[in-house]
Amino acid sequence: MAILVDKNTRVLVQGITGREGRFQTRLMVEYGTQVVAGITPGKGGEWVEGNIPVFDTVREAVKATGANTSIIYVPGPGAADAIYEAIDAGLPLIVCISDPIPLQDMMRVRQYLDRSKSKLIGPNCPGALTPNQAKVGIIPGYVTIPGHVGVVSRSGTLTYEVVNALTQRGIGQSTCVGIGGDPVKGINFIDVLSMFEDDPETEKIVM
């Protein structure tokens, strides 16, 4: 068991043909994450990493691939629109790495998100990783090992540091989540703690 991401997570990457999107896609695939599609308007029909199809819209990608999670590497000024598109496509989980997103944009996104069934991690976050199952974001996979300690943090760098310290002591993690430090964001500490409480694999939590 895990929370948010696991071996059944099917990821589409919004902004996959940009430098950061392409690079992080490669790392997620190398970790074993199922990256099934990418989104870049106007570049539908192209391929990334040899076998990942690119679509013009999120809705097209979801219909064609069965994706259930989006990760957003779109530059900050356009990231809010990318979140709206992922919500409208009915994706259960959206991870937004983008930074900075204007505060007023995120206030409107938050209102829209609250009327949907989607969960948002971020923005300005490192994402989520369940060891040996899925990495959706920029948390370094090599600092994690599977176990029973859930990790949640606002800071990306501190997430890596804490996880690495646990791993160095032989303490494995169930899922590692970086929620981001922006004042207006998606899920918060309370949301993640509630998920961990319902997860039979998580015995302890580090915040």
The reported pLDDT for the residue numbered 156 is 85
Exposed, middle or buried by CB within 10 Å (0-12, 13-18, 19+), for 192? buried
Global pTM value: 0.96
Q: Which of 80, 63, 79, 50 is nearest to 12 (CA)?
A: 63
Q: Which of 60, 24, 54, 23 is nearest to 40 (CA)?
A: 54
Under a CB-based contact definition with an 8 Å cutoff, are residues 91 and 66 in contact?
no
Exposed, middle or buried by CB within 10 Å (0-12, 13-18, 19+), for 103? exposed
Measured distance between the N- and C-terminal CA atoms of the chain, rounded to whole angstroms: 20
Cis before 75? omega within 30: no
- Joined together, the tokens standing for residue 48 give 């990334």
What is the chain's pLDDT, residue by residue, as a tens digit (207 residues)? Answer: 799 999 999 999 999 999 999 999 999 999 999 999 999 999 999 999 999 999 999 999 999 999 999 999 999 999 999 999 999 999 999 999 999 999 999 999 999 999 999 999 999 999 999 999 999 999 999 999 999 999 999 988 889 999 999 999 999 999 999 999 999 999 999 999 999 999 999 999 999
The reported pLDDT for the residue numbered 69 is 98
Instruction: Quote the CA–CA distance of 76 and 196 in Å, as a whole number.
Output: 30
